[in-house]
Structure 1
């Protein structure tokens, strides 16, 4: 178990999973250092001078890379950070990885080769993208336009991801495990939007467009080209059916079933975040 005199560094601490992991650890009285550019002791993936101070007195790390392990340069950054973590005395790393991403698996191999207790938590599309990310505004507008067609996705709940990560950071029996985190059933994006419409009691339309048109719209809204390329990659490569089958990572790690998208939709609707 975690020694109360040692820290757990949670990277991407303002993100969907990092925030949840840090909150859960603090609720267990685990000493946490939140790693982000805005923290009192800042951590910045683009400034390696911030790494060593953030790793000081750290026992375990929740390793979430921004923007994504599939992004160019990610393996070099993960290798350098893992080396720095080992040199700083880190003994346990829980890596947030991507399902069906060859680039992410290259990063996994780097962490798995390190002399630490490692756990890999793989996931793909977050349910919370509809409420805490770029799909919130379209849901509020009642008009979701994406290049996703009939390929289903077993959307992962960020709460499940955080619960698994906390178990791996604080408990025994998770070292050397690869957990694929999904929901219990696969839905198309149109079906997911329909679940949200039912939960909110509002009409929300889903419109499929060609990926080229979608990319052009993103550019017209001023998104950087690397983000446009990454989202295009997700919709054309990762969302090709390779991840359509639900997996048992939550059950193996926690001994319970994963959260269903419908439950996520009803819980989120009750917060009012989807109320225009």
Structure 2
């Protein structure tokens, strides 16, 4: 049985900081920047933060939560990893016991374990918002796929499966809205881009925008996993990325939603805009 100790706080003019977990990551850094630009008191939750926060070290959780009013909850490395659901449950319970009012969770579409984590967070007793996201456009420019695109050959498994790639800037704006406006309490926003593209479509858009030749190379799941292993990717990461490629990208998410419009009152950013603006930074240049 869960016993939640709630510390009641004055909700008027609450100047306590917002804790942004994974505050140096793809969405966390964007959320932190928007909040900082608005003059919102802020605390970055990372191993290099002050105080430090580490999902794998529960002794760091309470100091990071001290005197915090709300938290952007991003589980690292990903909610598909073993132990993620239990960690989110324990963190949410501790946050409420520490007097945190609001939790905003970044979740994933079509992921059974992510949905379990959502249920645990909702059961914590906090004010909650769920932002259930599709595949980030920025995965092509900031992390997983950048090296292969720069190398001129993109090898992946989900050749024919369309995905409504969502811009991380849109996610960040939805999260900030949920952290700062009571009207988003108790809402689940499933956020996508405005249209479906296959991975070859996305690579073609990047090729046009960047002027760089990129070959799309379809591979089997086994070849994909072997390539990751050959690049020195840790085994648990290989397993998680393989699960995304084989389960999440099996067609179950091949539809667009209006989550961005529901939360922000505007349409989401198109992948072509992302490709154009990102190419202008030179990140894909060789």
* TM-score with structure 1 setting the length: 0.98
2:124 to 84, 108, 114: 114
Shift of 1:263: 0.2
Show the 5 A alignment for 1:33-182. 33-182=43-192
Establish whether residue 267 from structure 1 lines up as the match of residue 285 from structure 2: no
Shift of 1:34: 0.3
Question: Is contact 1:21–1:165 with CA below 8 Å preserved after alignment?
Answer: yes
Structure 2 residue aligned with 1:208: 218
Shift of 1:275: 1.1
Question: Is contact 2:101–2:126 with CA below 8 Å preserved after alignment?
Answer: yes
1:252 to 253, 258, 262: 262
Question: Is contact 2:80–2:114 with CA below 8 Å preserved after alignment?
Answer: yes
Shift of 1:2: 8.2
Distance, in Å, in 2 between the alignment partners of 1:263 and 1:2 is 40
Question: Is contact 2:14–2:69 with CA below 8 Å preserved after alignment?
Answer: no
2:240 to 230, 237, 244: 230
Three-state SS of the structure 2 residue aligned to 1:41 is coil
Distance, in Å, in 1 between the alignment partners of 2:49 and 2:79 is 22
Three-state SS of the structure 2 residue aligned to 1:213 is helix
Question: Is contact 2:154–2:214 with CA below 8 Å preserved after alignment?
Answer: yes
Q: RMSD of the TM alignment (CA)?
A: 1.1
Three-state SS of the structure 1 residue aligned to 2:193 is coil
Question: Is contact 1:51–1:81 with CA below 8 Å preserved after alignment?
Answer: yes
Shift of 1:4: 5.6
Which has the larger displacement, 184-193 or 198-207?
A: 198-207
Unaligned runs of 5+ in 2: 1-10
Shift of 1:40: 2.5
Distance, in Å, in 2 between the alignment partners of 1:168 and 1:36 is 21
Shift of 1:219: 1.1
Structure 1 residue aligned with 2:35: 25
Distance, in Å, in 1 between the alignment partners of 2:29 and 2:14 is 20
Distance, in Å, in 2 between the alignment partners of 1:151 and 1:3 is 47
Distance, in Å, in 1 between the alignment partners of 2:115 and 2:13 is 30
Three-state SS of the structure 1 residue aligned to 2:69 is strand
Distance, in Å, in 2 between the alignment partners of 1:34 and 1:157 is 22
Shift of 1:124: 2.6
Structure 2 residue aligned with 1:9: 19
In the comparison of the two structures, how many residue pairs are matched?
276
Distance, in Å, in 2 between the alignment partners of 1:233 and 1:260 is 26
Three-state SS of the structure 1 residue aligned to 2:184 is coil
